[in-house]
Structure 1
């Protein structure tokens, strides 16, 4: 594979790995917010109007920012009716075809996310709850998460094409191949 593709795959994989590992700890922040809200409501009879919405925003950020890392780790669900019976090359070509469909979907999602974020920034869009937070920050995070998924999808497409051609672009495999050749 051309060096630019190899560099792209390594950079995107490394960046999404860092983002994913940082975002993993967000679950503890969500637990803290919900625990604080629960204690505030039950122990002090002081319900918080912002806790559920903040938790929802954090959960959206959690799965959208972590989606690219999950894809990289192969953690998404795959229906395995015929897949396990196919050769590695056939699987790679089918994966490349399906990832192309995902790239089209994510491109449309990104376009909608950018449009929605621009609207939220331009008009100061707020939530229709009693707390009424501005929606631009979460829309920016969500759009960035979709962008990371799109970058990771292209990286995965390159890896699938390389795998179909009998070459590996994965970092661990590349280091093993380098070590074997030295």
Structure 2
């Protein structure tokens, strides 16, 4: 079982690491979109697509960068007690709390899948003047939630290994 967990952790961590490193540079895409928005509003005709495209880029940035942040421990914790605990105690608490995260992400993934299938089925569009199709960003959201779920399971496996005194 520990061999399976170790392989799972290595694969999921590698995928989320690579996706996260790529998404780190996506902030420049958002800056470029917003810069073009400012320039076009000042010197040309305002673009209809820039604000919504920047929002889509931000969603992709957060949804695909979230698993990387979880992997690197960049998530926010209440450090009042946590910082003074031993590694085993931290693993015990994390192993319990990550179960709530896994449940939450499962519910989120279920809802995101339903919303995405609806978007495909009916050709859902944004109610703005630009009217882009919404399925591309919903697919990205589903993928991001799915990868966050897989990373949460990886974190659970790491906590179990810590509690057993095994290095994955």
Q: Scaled by the length of structure 1, what TM-score is found?
A: 0.90
Runs of 4+ in 1 over 4 A off after TM superposition: none
* Residue 123 (structure 2) aligns with: 124
| Alpha-carbon distance, 1:83 to partner | 1.1
* Residue 20 (structure 2) aligns with: 20
* Residue 85 (structure 1) aligns with: 84
The separation in 1 between residues aligned to 2:9 and 2:167, in whole angstroms, is: 11
Alignment of 1:1-182 (within 5 A): 2-44=2-44, 46-169=45-168
Q: How many residues align?
A: 168
**Aligned Cα RMSD in Å?**
0.9
The separation in 1 between residues aligned to 2:71 and 2:5, in whole angstroms, is: 16
The separation in 2 between residues aligned to 1:161 and 1:122, in whole angstroms, is: 41
Query: Between Structure 1 and Structure 2, whose CA radius of gyration is higher?
Result: 1
The separation in 1 between residues aligned to 2:40 and 2:100, in whole angstroms, is: 46
| Alpha-carbon distance, 1:64 to partner | 0.5
* Residue 179 (structure 1) aligns with: none
CA contact (8 A) 1:127 1:135 kept: yes
CA contact (8 A) 1:13 1:155 kept: yes
